[in-house]
Amino acid sequence: MEIRSYIGILWRRKWVIVATAIVTVTVVVIGMLIMTPVYAASAMLRVLTPSGGTSDWIEYNTMYAERLTNTYAKIATTRPVLQELAQRLGLDQLPKIEVETLADTELLLITAEATDPTLARDAANGLAEILLEQYELARVREGMPANMLSVVEPAIAPKTPSRPRKMLNLALACMVGLGGGTGLAFAFEILDTTLHTAKQIETTTGLSALGKIPSARRRRAGFFNGNSPQAEAFRHLRTKVFALDTETPFRTLLVTSAEPREGKSTIVANLASAIAQSGRRVVVVDGDMRLPTLHKVFDLPNEIGLSTVLQEEVPLDEALQSSDIPGVWVLTSGPPTPNAAELLALPPMRASVEQLAQQFDIVLLDAPSILTVTDAALLALVADGVILVVARAQAREEAVQAACQQLSDIKARSIGVVVNRAKPDSTYAYYRHRPRWRS
């Protein structure tokens, strides 16, 4: 996978990453708010090494001071000493106390942690005072040198808590949240079979993209403004379609999709308009006699149409209607019928398409989604070519593959795919906003 693909996944799943980071930081913040602040105070003692004498004597004194430091570090945490400290502080339970020797030094560090900063200070200084008293008693009894143990730095009451470490915790929460969100983003990408890019759609279908229709903020099917990026995309689609019919001209084209609500009826209507603008006569046939749409797009009545023609209630010429777009005629679906598949399989359907192909330059058949009903497969048998509409960020890989397989099984001539709701192309905006030449 290329770096651009990784970046595309991260951008596509950015809200997963952001949401995960926000949740992680929120949990950490709530935890820090609930947590009782803990304050740490430290007192530092020094064990002096006697000076003077020979080198052997100095080495002995150094070893003696090291043993003495370790000894008092152990004495500080013995039960009698801690009980004495608790009695002096008037406590039943002492705060947490740690005593450690600092490597390669003569220093002894006493650290007390408590929810009260004053208590932490008093505990550290109190333990240091007890150790000094213990040393004085031992010096008197054993004749040890004076002033070998002294306080270098007494503990002071801290102004800020040592736990929780807010900035560090927040920084770690951000890192963990972003890392976890990135992992979730890739996990969702693996589990999600939605086709998010035109490249994915081309790879899945094995067909080249005839057109990429940018997404637009509209909820109903309709026509796009002639100066819009969508209208320009349909002009590109028109050019691509007619560039393919050099060997075998396409007189009848079927437009379908794998599943409903992928915008195929809007594609058919706007492609018909673009073709008519090039001077060709176009007829649009609504082949969906179950849930018709095109009569709404062209704002035409639907009392008669394809269903009435196939049932031989009215002749084909009487069912045709001219639209408000010059050069575009429409054969609406007619009243919905429960036996649509049977009607499409009858010889009158093929005869009607052939008659339309003789009267017009091109016939566009708007078929139902191919995986929903068998109507699209029946219509594909009378069409010169099939265009598959795939809605980006909506169509599922398995559905599109199944649609392509069905078209292949009936030996339909799939000429390409139209990517609907594609990402807008910035190049069109460049030309759209360029200033016009002045004479």
CATH of the domain at 277: 3.40.50.300
Structural domain span for residue 86: 39-153
At 73 the pLDDT is: 86
Whether 181 is in a domain gets the answer: yes
User: Is 205 in the same domain as 353?
Assistant: yes
How does pLDDT run across 385-412, given as a tens digit for each residue?
999 999 998 999 999 999 999 999 999 9
The pLDDT of 406-434, averaged and rounded, is 80
Residue 187 has pLDDT above 50, yes or no: yes
Whether 176 is in a domain gets the answer: yes
At 424 the pLDDT is: 78
The pLDDT of 372-389, averaged and rounded, is 93
Whether 284 is in a domain gets the answer: yes
User: Is 284 in the same domain as 418?
Assistant: yes
User: Is 148 in the same domain as 182?
Assistant: no
User: Is 347 in the same domain as 408?
Assistant: yes
The pLDDT of 61-67, averaged and rounded, is 67
Domain boundary residue among 153, 180, 203? 153
At 163 the pLDDT is: 86
User: Is 330 in the same domain as 427?
Assistant: yes
How does pLDDT run across 90-114, given as a tens digit for each residue?
888 888 999 998 887 888 899 999 9
At 148 the pLDDT is: 74
- Please name which of 5, 416, 431, 430 lies closest in space to residue 212, comparing C-alpha atoms: 416
Cα–Cα dist 214/228, whole Å? 10
Q: Which of 81-90, 334-343, 372-381, 423-432 has the lowest mean pLDDT?
A: 423-432
Whether 177 is in a domain gets the answer: yes
Residue 54 has pLDDT above 50, yes or no: no
Residue 318 has pLDDT above 80, yes or no: yes
Number of domains in the chain: 3
Q: What angle do CA 378, 382, 386 make, to 5 degrees?
A: 85
CB-CB contact of 149 with 72 (8 Å): yes
